[in-house]
Amino acid sequence: MSEELKPCPFCGGRDLQLVRALSTGRYVVECRGCRKQVYLNSVECMDRGNAIKAWNRRAGDERMQMRADYSA
């Protein structure tokens, strides 16, 4: 599994940090470009790998895959 985070969906920045919130044990992605913080609140996001998967998932990813499957 790739440990690389996709760019920030707000500003496109790549200077991201994945940190664990002390209060909840879940992960937070912080963008140093636009200073946004995204809290990954799902219970699955207590695991670093799952938190990365959640951050990298984007709306429309499934639709793009379906289009690729049907265009063949």
pTM of the model: 0.73
One-character DSSP codes across the chain: ---PPPPPTTT----EEEEE-TTTS-EEEEETTT--EEE--SGGGGSHHHHHHHHH--TTHHHHHHHHHHH-
> With contact defined as beta carbons under 8 Å apart, do 3 and 48 qualify?
no
Residue 34 token pair: 């636009």
CA 4, CA 56: separation in Å to the nearest integer?
9
CA 54, CA 6: separation in Å to the nearest integer?
10
User: Is 1 a residue whose pLDDT tops 70?
Assistant: no
**What pLDDT, on the 0 to 100 scale, is given for residue 45?**
84
**What pLDDT, on the 0 to 100 scale, is given for residue 41?**
84
**What pLDDT, on the 0 to 100 scale, is given for residue 44?**
82
**What pLDDT, on the 0 to 100 scale, is given for residue 62?**
58
**What pLDDT, on the 0 to 100 scale, is given for residue 59?**
74
- Give residue-wise pLDDT tens across range 12-69: 999 999 999 898 889 999 999 999 999 988 888 889 999 999 999 987 665 544 444 4
